[in-house]
Chain A
């Protein structure tokens, strides 16, 4: 393999001239992203080896996995099955090498976990991901909640488990294979393709001998006489190794990429395994990639991609669409869905990971379809995936649902749900690299008021600091940051400043100095000196957030007396935390640098950003005694990031393509457990024209995290700068977001409890409608709002799919569409298609205000969309929006329901004991208006108790829109309101 490209080191002028001429002639059009800065699978040793193994297996129809479980070693105890796993090819004698340890855990949440690790390796394999990613030690299925069904005639062991005993796991010993079945239907299969491969740790010397020995054999094998030497009992060795087989032994130790060398002192330690989603043709998840929601194949005939999906957090400049390249964050969670089944896996590994996806038209296991094949003549399908990680322990969770809601809950119970955010943080954020000085900030702030556009947060990028020293201010530009924040705060607004994990190497900079004194920086590969790299401030060091002392120290930097010029209305933005290292391989830190506890970075790379994010959130939460929720935005992410704050999709581009890309990327991140995410409205790089910017605002108001941001070199684009009609269109869009804030906040609360995504792919709301399985150009906000962004220039008609058999109501003019089916809908410059689904109730606050804080005491409107049975339901969650007091029960959660002509409001799940001081304060907030959509006749009388209310109805198409003024009810008390 030629991973390192030749560097030009000319020594004479003529040579230079020649080389430059050659380079000059070779100049071709250069794409925006510098692809050559980032590895392909073939440039990443372990990926190439495991993929070669898969090639060998797939080319051999007789292929069988060499792994076997020793049947006599299997023990099932308290929900855990253990046993010895042997590779019969490598371990000629069972005593040659210790067997691998196999574990299968049945969890109390109906999930299962499979682990494969080395027994007593020469170094400890890193197994610490669980300590930071799992929220708490989970419970195992109790004895009695599962049942060993014994072995069948082929020696296959079956265990039935799950709350309704709906799940079965079948363990085959030889060859090793695990099948998960739901109601008897094979759904998730491990090692069904036999791609399990596990590189055991070894000594370099021993390995060299082996390699040399093999080389000699290679050379000698052309001599037929030598074949005899190998002996007749092992034909494999005697046969000349194929190209693929040679690849299995390449780049085991030191590895080069461009001018960088990865020293790999522990040598090869990767592993891989195939996971088949049987009977399932669509798989989703494994963010972050700029690709479609339903993942495209990377292997097999007609596969659109040739590279596997890569999970390796990287700072990618102007990334491209439709590409499986790694981006800023990683979540090794994949969900498969078909009309009849839904299942997911979580591959718990934070090292570099590659995933191949192959769509198989033939499913030898049949899946659900073989089960129902007698009824329908459909071709069974399967999605075969191949997971490859560089280091650590093979550790995979399997979730069988049965519904996707169950899966989200099961997954969230392991890695956590989204933290309930500060209420302001789901409103509109105004950002730019950079707002230049205090005066600039004041003028932008005043601009919003002058143009009557609401916003909540003004952001300051790196230029606000003194020479990129975080926690400091450029005093010439920001002489009085406290006053500046207080001025914003007086209007209910907040400020966010950027804090990155690279610390400028400067003995006079207090953070740098303290960090050195406390010895909290990441170390070079020798483990003694501090790693030194380049980022914004020049020569910098990176905090080792794996060191508990470093985390606490970092958190303490956010106290008001340390972060001079910070106030309680200041929050934080963590950028460059992949980490981005300008001078490093693939713009990140070398893999062989050392963390606390002598842990090599390669084991934990994808988690680094999250550890930083978490320490920052901890710092904000504890900077004073007021029990406030933190708000921290991060660029890098991993499974579990949702517990610490929001993320955004990094440095996108002001292009229609990137506007279009945002939907699938955000939907994918959301279904992978991180609902609080957004893409920069307007696009970071470049200059959007007025139409693109307006369309992006219209789409962006339906991102969970809604921020506009722009690059230093781009033109100003505050919402009013393009003039009319754009200012009015953008104002209208942002105000729409503000009217829907109660609905969004309620969705966040729901997500914080059960892990349900906030913006949802169509298939999660319409799981039986195959037409929507691949759909990612329209989506749902919660269960109620359908959004179809306009992502092309000059488009004024949009083809919208109305799913289900119910009506849909335009949220602006209440016009009605009937599902199911596609329909062309007007989408003129001032609106995109947004519809409320029949059967839902959406709580709103309709008064235009300048910030979300200013809406705190405003009354509510309920928009009730009746379904064909005259029913609807919805929720409203409210709390103080900023503290953790909700944990003590200080909140209001109401369920609204319309059934049989009665609108009822009932308290849900409120902590009964103790005093609910929030309900006392806010319980009197009125519902000032009801808007009832979908009535088949005008409402004649609406009454609460004996009191008859004013109601106005107007006909709209085949149904009526009725408005009830002042229904005389509040959000604090139960009520029943009848209409006829």
Chain B
């Protein structure tokens, strides 16, 4: 980053530097002082000189005498005596630069001083490589320039798309919003009709309510009993697995650093955290109907079964990969529990699902043409209502989607609209990383780990995005991704690193951040025709390299 300023000179500056360097050589400017500062290093009439901070006056001969006189270090621009100033390197053939005076005569040929002028004490010889370095830099500059030109061309396409897209989305939104009232009206009508039908049916049914409910209760009682038993059993098993994991967590030998064990313990921690977030609502209510009672039991059982599955997966993962040589007692206990569990569970699980999976039976039909009529009418009203409701949610969803896009910060010129929901992959030796811009980021090998959701831009430059709130790490934070963008002619991830555990750094090249010259950007009218052609190119190219989310 730092070297960029050195390596890519602007030709005008270069020409200037040649001129001033000559001046530097010609007059008596002290060593290490840049031409622009030369006027500061002139003795007064008494051959004295004042430190630049005015703190002290010293003989001019004490400037660059390799002893630090001034508190601000300004008397030693050409030696390391103070070490706090800047040493100017003319770098003829390249671009002028400066280094900290602490790096003068330190035995290191500083890259910034390609002319070798920083090492003049005879201890270290630094050859002048400015011609070579300069040529390379110019070449590199040209290369960068061409990328930037092409990138800017592509970006103009992005901008055009973004702006056009915004207009069309706005229009679409208006259209949809225009439909809302009418759809709402239809829906209200349907609901009113449905209510009338329901009321009529209810009134008809009210007469036989007690009889039917008693029959229903009798019908469901054995099933409820059975389901209660199953729930109790499942809960016991779940609690046993929880205790096993809790014990593993507390008692396992951390000295072994067994990754399989660590993984299971961290998974258990995540489970516990998730568990805490769920609020316990299971309340016994004796008044509720047998149907609802049964439904509640089934729901609860399925929650417990899911827990058992989760806990077993954790234990099983460890069982498959743990290091058998460690003989860690806590691990051995957990493995044994898992094995025993698997044997017994495989057979007992049948009770829950396969053989006689309990389902809510149909209410015993009441054979009665009048009842049939009420039911038909209700069903019809229900269908009409459902259609209207579906239509409404479709429109609402469309509005939400457009509003989401319209509310997204695609940059001041809408550049990033082109990239929203585009996904990119990067493979390294172990993992495949993927990121959907403004969406989410994931890491996958045999299984997938969530690294975070788009949470915003960092800074004001529209070149760094943050994705946060990913899966929690063992003994660490929630995973997150910092996506850093640089100019390129193609949108692609060029590197993924994990500088510290669970905090990922993705580097993305994209035309979207290539600098667009100011005058062009503002003066769109003139460029209109030219752009018209390039936009097609951009979109084609865009489709070539942008992998749509669906394809993942």
A contacts, CB < 8 Å to B? 7-10, 12-13, 16-17, 19-21, 23-24, 27, 30, 34, 37, 259, 315, 317, 436-437, 439-440, 446, 450, 452, 476, 490-492, 533-534, 536, 538-539, 582-583, 587, 712-716, 847-850, 853-859, 928-929, 965-966
Contacts and interface: CB of A to CB of B under 8 A. Distances in A.
B343 to A, nearest CB: 8
Interface string B17-44: 0000000000000000000000000000
Interface stretch (B205-213, B243-251, B294-302): B243-251
Nearest to A493: B108
A966 B66 CA distance: 10
B325 A534 contact: yes
23 contacts: A8-B333, A9-B336, A13-B337, A23-B251, A24-B246, A27-B247, A34-B253, A34-B255, A259-B329, A436-B499, A440-B497, A440-B499, A712-B501, A713-B475, A713-B476, A713-B501, A716-B499, A847-B81, A848-B84, A857-B105, A928-B66, A928-B67, A928-B81
A850 B254 contact: no
B256 interface: yes
Considering residues B243, B256, B327, B329, which has the most beta carbons from chain A within 10 angstroms of its beta carbon? B243
A854 B246 contact: no
Contacts of B344: 13
Nearest to B340: A13
A966 B329 contact: no
Contact size class for B? 35 or more
A840 B552 CA distance: 73
A582 B501 contact: no
A19 B333 contact: yes
A12 B343 CA distance: 11
A850 B253 contact: no
B102 A849 contact: yes
A436 B344 CA distance: 45
A506 B429 CA distance: 22
Contact of A848 (B102, B109, B476): B102
A288 to B, nearest CB: 18
Contacts of B108: 490-492, 850, 854
B292 interface: no
A440 B2 CA distance: 16
A107 to B, nearest CB: 43
Contact of A16 (B83, B253, B256, B337): B337
A912 to B, nearest CB: 28
B323 A23 contact: no
B497 A436 contact: yes
B20 to A, nearest CB: 27
A889 B152 CA distance: 67
Contacts of A850: 102-103, 106, 108
Contacts of A24: 243, 246-247
A440 B495 CA distance: 13
Contacts of A587: 255
Contacts of B84: 848
B255 A315 contact: yes
Interface string B424-458: 00000100000000000000000000000000000
B216 interface: no
Nearest to B323: A534
A450 B475 CA distance: 32
B336 A16 contact: yes
Contacts of A928: 66-67, 81
Given A452-B102, A713-B475, A850-B103, A858 B325 contact: no
A487 to B, nearest CB: 11
A491 B84 CA distance: 19
Given A10-B336, A492-B108, A715 B500 contact: yes
A847 B102 contact: yes
Contacts of B102: 452, 847-850
A492 B325 CA distance: 45
A37 B535 CA distance: 70
B469 interface: no
A440 B505 CA distance: 12
A534 B499 CA distance: 29
Given A24-B246, A27-B246, A37 B80 contact: no
Contacts, number: 131
A34 B80 contact: no
Interface string B493-504: 000011111000
B326 interface: yes
Nearest to B502: A713
Contacts of B83: 847-849
Nearest to A926: B66
B121 interface: yes
B47 interface: no
B329 A853 contact: no
A476 B429 CA distance: 8
Given A850-B103, A857-B121, A965-B67, A583 B327 contact: yes
A315 to B, nearest CB: 7
Interface in B164-222: none
Interface in B321-378: 323, 325-327, 329, 333, 336-337, 340-341, 344
B243 A37 contact: no
B123 A857 contact: yes
B318 to A, nearest CB: 15
A34 B254 CA distance: 8
A10 B81 CA distance: 75
Contacts of B333: 8, 10, 16, 19-20, 23
A440 B341 CA distance: 46
Interface in B23-78: 65-67, 69
Interface string B88-124: 0000000000001011011111000000000001010
Contact of B498 (A27, A436, A859): A436
B240 interface: yes
Contacts of B81: 847, 928
A439 B496 CA distance: 12
A539 B105 CA distance: 51
Given A24-B247, A582-B256, A859-B66, 6 more contacts: A16-B333, A34-B255, A436-B497, A533-B325, A713-B476, A847-B81
A99 to B, nearest CB: 46
A582 B2 contact: no
A10 B336 CA distance: 8
Contacts of A34: 253-255
B530 to A, nearest CB: 40
A858 B68 CA distance: 13
Contacts of B497: 436-437, 439-440
Interface string B223-254: 00000000000000000100110110011011
A-B pairs with the 6 shortest C-beta distances? A854-B106, A24-B243, A716-B500, A13-B340, A848-B83, A23-B247
Contacts of A492: 106-108
A858 B80 contact: yes
A13 B256 CA distance: 27
Nearest to A854: B106
A477 to B, nearest CB: 9
A690 to B, nearest CB: 16
Nearest to A16: B337
Interface in B463-501: 474-476, 497-501
A954 to B, nearest CB: 13
Given A20-B333, A440-B499, A715-B500, A534 B326 contact: yes
B499 A582 contact: no
A181 B370 CA distance: 121
A24 B121 CA distance: 73
A492 B109 CA distance: 11
Contacts of A536: 257
A162 B108 CA distance: 55
Contacts of B501: 712-715
A928 B105 CA distance: 16
A21 B327 CA distance: 21
B340 A12 contact: yes
Contacts of B325: 533-534, 538-539, 583
